[in-house]
Amino acid sequence: MLSLISDVFGGSSAPSGGRSASGEGPSRATSQFGQSGAGARVLPPGKGHTIAVIGVGYVGLPTAATLAHLGHRVTCGDADPAKVAMLQKGHVPIVEDHLEALVREGQDADRLRFVVGAAAAVEGAEFVFLCVPTPQGDDGSADLSYVEAVAKEIGPLLAPGTIIVNKSTVPVGSTLVVERVLGRSDVAVVSNPEFLREGTAVPDSLHPERIVVGADDQAAAAKVGDLFSGTHAPLLITDAATAETIKYASNAFLATKLSFVNAVAGLCEAVGADVRDVILGLGYDKRIGFEYLRPGPGWGGSCLPKDTRALVHIAEQAGYDFSFLKGAIATNDEQFERVVQKVRAAVGDQLDGAVIAVWGLTFKAGTDDLRNSPAVEVVRRLVEEGAVVQAFDPTVDVPLGQESTPVEDLTGWSPLGDSPGSDAESDLVVRAYPDAYAACRGASAVVVLTEWDEFRWLDFTKVRDAMAAAVVVDARNLLDPAQLRRIGFDYTGIGRR
């Protein structure tokens, strides 16, 4: 069953005039957090619900702060006491624009608090959001152990009628798994997949493009949809399996689009076309659009790699060979190697002993997240071939007075500490530098691996003078080739002349 319930919000994407769940007229908040357009509609005092959010990482924290912003009373429980202590003081442990302000707003309004552990958070909660990791298991499947552990912990503590909302990305059928582990017939379990993007998590949470809720219990699903009514987003209510599939299908599509554009960039190099103009020609077609149509060093991050592999696994288990998606994954693996090949060629086919400067280590700009970062994957391959990598990333915290630091000594490198699901990068022999210029000292080439905007505005004469050879491999097509060539750089981009 699939129904688009647009009138829950008084019209899908209604910019104003919607009706709140309580039947009260909307009170408008001008928001410092959103993009242009309507601000979120905030419930009148006392009309919000009591909500627990379990796991305050990249998804749980923006979710909790958004629910508090909308007028709900939110208690967050996390297993990491250090993270909770930081948050209790109003400090956000991740790099995410506007998040600290949104968290502090909730704390100041006494609608957002943080406690250690799931059990301490769920007392009196009408809704419990699960936002814990679902890392990739050894066989490519999603590991449900964190979700199951929380369900086991809170099962006996929930009040009758509580609604469990699963925001973690989980395979089809996981709602039933949670129901089984909870062992409570008086508690409903609802799937509510999350689509926020790191780097724009706050506007994405306050102004989501859609809210998807899936459950057998349609009344419970509608109640969950109503929690977000202030966001004005279209609400899609469906069954749990469909909601779970929507999340995986969305990420599989985005990954495929990125692999497609990387493949087109490879084609452009082969036939002598310029991928930037090809993208313009493609993107103006509304059926295609510009989003996720930018070549790079390969896709990565905490979601796309594990979710695509999990979907291939889910399909296999169900007897469907998702060869199309396997192709997108294979194209991505090739892309890492294509970037390494460009660097190899740029330094005369000899990486062993070559000093390579690297700008950017996070999987994208606007975050400090290094999980499955394509930049780190490229660095790993360069190091394996004997290159001496000197890296700079704006979110890697280098201790003052130290020009270079082994990766494992860096604070801020892995902001979530031993967060489950994060990849330890400690075996990488790479030195981090405090700024982009310092990283280039004596280098035979500089490789741009993350699209931090600040790299575009550097003094490239200074960069050139610091290097042993003026060579740039721009794996993000971020820089201006004409400007660089004018001052003597050998420039290589992706699919670009």
The least CB distance from residue 60 to ligand NAD, in Å, is 6
Residue 140 is a binding residue for ligand NAD (CB under 6 A): no
DSSP string for residues in 281-318 = HHHTSTTT-STT----S---TTTHHHHHHHHHHHHHHT
Choice among 76, 131, 268, 303 that is catalytic: 303
Cα separation, 222 vs 225, whole angstroms: 5
Among 133, 171, 415, 495, binds ligand NAD (CB under 6 A): 133
CA of 221: how far to CAs of 130, 171, 228, in Å?
15, 19, 12
Tell me if residue 76 is catalytic.
no
Is 146 or 228 the residue whose CB approaches ligand NAD more closely? 146
Is 82 or 159 the residue whose CB approaches ligand NAD more closely? 82
Whether 448 and 468 have beta carbons less than 8 Å apart is answered as no
Residue 134 is a binding residue for ligand NAD (CB under 6 A): yes
Cα separation, 318 vs 471, whole angstroms: 49
Whether 234 and 227 have beta carbons less than 8 Å apart is answered as no
Among 131, 233, 382, 410, binds ligand NAD (CB under 6 A): 131
Is 144 or 430 the residue whose CB approaches ligand NAD more closely? 144
Q: How many residues bind ligand NAD (CB under 6 A)?
A: 31
Residue 303 is a binding residue for ligand NAD (CB under 6 A): yes
Residue 421 is a binding residue for ligand NAD (CB under 6 A): yes
Cα separation, 88 vs 135, whole angstroms: 27
Is 97 or 385 the residue whose CB approaches ligand NAD more closely? 97
Query: Which residues from 357-416 bind ligand NAD, rule CB under 6 A?
Result: 416
Query: Which residues from 258-277 bind ligand NAD, rule CB under 6 A?
Result: none
Residue 325 is a binding residue for ligand NAD (CB under 6 A): no
Residue 149 is a binding residue for ligand NAD (CB under 6 A): yes
Q: With CA atoms as reference, report the closest residue to 473 among 405, 382, 407, 406.
A: 382
Among 77, 266, 394, 415, binds ligand NAD (CB under 6 A): 77
Q: Both tokens of residue 129?
A: 């959001």
Residue 168 is a binding residue for ligand NAD (CB under 6 A): yes
Task: Give the amino acid at 485.
Answer: R
Is 137 or 420 the residue whose CB approaches ligand NAD more closely? 420
Cα separation, 347 vs 388, whole angstroms: 13
Whether 325 and 310 have beta carbons less than 8 Å apart is answered as no
Residue 54 is a binding residue for ligand NAD (CB under 6 A): yes
Among 20, 26, 42, 80, binds ligand NAD (CB under 6 A): 80
Strand 235-238's sheet: what is its strand order?
2-4, 235-238, 211-214, 188-191, 163-166, 127-130, 50-54, 73-78, 112-116
Catalytic residues, by residue number, are 303
For ligand NAD, the binding residues (CB under 6 A) are 54-60, 77-80, 83, 118, 131-134, 146, 149-150, 168-169, 194, 196, 198, 302-303, 416, 419-421
